A and B are shown apart, each in its own frame.
Chain A
Amino acid sequence: MADVSIKDVYKTFGKTEVIHGISCDIKDGEFVVVLGPSGCGKSTLLRMVAGLEVITKGEIAINGAVVNDLEPADRDIAMVFQNYALYPHMSEKNMAYGLKIRRMPKEEIEKRIRNAANILEITEFLDRKPRQLSGGQRQRVAMDRCIVREPKVFLFDEPLSNLDAKLRVQMRLEIRRLQEDLEVTSISVTHDQVEVMTLGDRLIIMDNGYAAQVGSPLEIYERPATRFVAGFIGSPGMNFLPVPLSADGQWVELPGATRLPLQNGGIPSHRGQEIILGIRPEHCDLAGEQAGMMHLNVDHVEILGADTLVYGHFGEDNALLAVRLPAIHHFEKNTILPLVVSTKNMHIFDKESGKRIGD
């Protein structure tokens, strides 16, 4: 049980700086998920916490003690690797390995392995070598190898990316349940945004070596700090429309000449400028012919069962829009759909900086 504090950490490989100063305090027992596209530095950050990469600048502390110069072995952490990294020539010794090296008595090792195997229900696979296990079973053994160590911190490097969709959902629940039961501080890295919403207490969204936003999943979903974050969380991604803000900053003009008043006194600071309006697909609703703010010309429909995704364009410059409607709808191509969106679900970003403006 420990808290982890990451203070202004930088990482350079040769001359390229890949992490440009990240800070985050992770509380005892918290599950933090680092999310970002490939190559944004999220794995590097995790590997620095693990001690597998040297920290170029800044400080990482576990339980208040700076661990910058400690070997991975001395940091009391355990890590689940993306491809599990189970030692191919060991069966149950995979789990015992770390304990044996720490010279734990045999009975204690056996007790811990039995306990851990019970938690993840892999007792019958204990005598199998990794190549005799399926992907999901390997994942469990990899997690058990961490559990038996009873470390201060769990690290997960894209733990679910090698599993098929169904197993992924199941393991996601299991990881979450396990983490809650054991109350071990955990850091996970992923590019799967569904995983993020359900797994983490708190998220760090990384963009190109910077932390674009740190916050709870809902906070990030409801109030994304930048256009990048807004586009990254949610599927399909948020729609972005470049629209002009009125001269008094009180309303925006949608393509198709509809005026949309803004909440909370508008954005006087950007009056008359062009801004980026963000609307999530799931926040658009069908409306009556008269009430429709946008008249979407349907291009393509995907029926998912619970929802229907509609892709289309509207307005004179054919702005593209994706809409998620509940239940099943059969729309023909080129049907005109009147849509409404409530002002409280709109996000406004600065066109230049991409930062969230207004409310």
Chain B
Amino acid sequence: MIIWPYAAAPAVAGVLCYFLFNPTVGIIALYMKILGYEWNHSLNGGQAMFPVIIAAAWREISNNFLFFLAGLQAIPKPFIEAAAIDGASPLKRFWTITFPLLSPTAFFLIVMNIMYAFFDTFGVIHVITDGGPNNATNIVVYKVYHDGFLGLDLGGSAAQSVVLMIIVISLTVIQFRYIERKVNY
């Protein structure tokens, strides 16, 4: 059940959020109105990123959950038992033994999720906001598409995609250089 969202296409996740947050028919928008909050993400640029984030994260959480579950199950029980004998409370055991032993999984997921955020959120944005309002959700990967295919500025679009690639590569390199040091295999 928990992994079902991962089976949904990004666009489907986007449509789901689009309807939930839609100012006219959306149930979440309705409740917010009842609570006295004026919700209109198609006009308010500050609000527009929110449904995008929700849709993208909802789809990805299940995937992350699976990896963490696998990571948890791969931790041999004697470690936890040894810590219990050493006198650690369950919470302490989690923070000092389980959590560090999950760090390879966590590191892998950080890298993958950042790449996901840069590239695979395209469908979600396309469905929910089309990069608007007023470019508030126009992230680079969407802008590449928008400028290239809609604006027909192919040169600029190609240049932006190179910039995007450089950004992601350098982010990944930074992660491997500085975060991986703290990871225990």
Contacts and interface: CB of A to CB of B under 8 A. Distances in A.
Interface of A: 50-52, 71-73, 77-79, 81-83, 85, 87-89, 97-98, 101-102, 129, 131, 145, 149
A132 to B, nearest CB: 12
Interface string B141-174: 0000000000000000000000000000000000
Among B79, B81, B86, B100, max chain A CB count under 10 A is at B86
B101 interface: yes
A73 B87 contact: yes
Nearest to A47: B81
A73 B76 contact: no
Interface in B110-149: none
Q: For the complex of A and B, list the 8 residue pairs with the smallest distance between their C-beta atoms, beginning with the closest.
A: A98-B86, A89-B184, A85-B78, A73-B87, A85-B82, A89-B100, A72-B85, A101-B87
B184 A88 contact: yes
Contact of A97 (B89, B96, B185): B96
Nearest to B100: A89
A79 B100 contact: no
B85 A87 contact: no
Interface in B75-110: 76, 78-79, 81-89, 92, 96-97, 100-101, 103
Contacts of B85: 50-52, 72-73, 77-79, 98
A52 B84 contact: yes
Contacts of B84: 51-52, 71-73
A88 B103 CA distance: 12
B92 A101 contact: yes
A111 to B, nearest CB: 18
Contact of B88 (A52, A83, A89, A101): A101
21 contacts: A50-B81, A51-B85, A52-B84, A52-B85, A73-B89, A77-B85, A78-B85, A79-B81, A79-B82, A81-B81, A82-B78, A83-B78, A85-B79, A87-B79, A87-B82, A89-B100, A89-B184, A97-B83, A97-B88, A101-B87, A101-B92
Contacts of A89: 100-101, 103, 184
Contacts of A97: 83, 86, 88, 96
B90 to A, nearest CB: 10
Contacts of B87: 73, 98, 101-102
A157 B92 CA distance: 25
A131 to B, nearest CB: 8
Nearest to A96: B86
B100 to A, nearest CB: 4
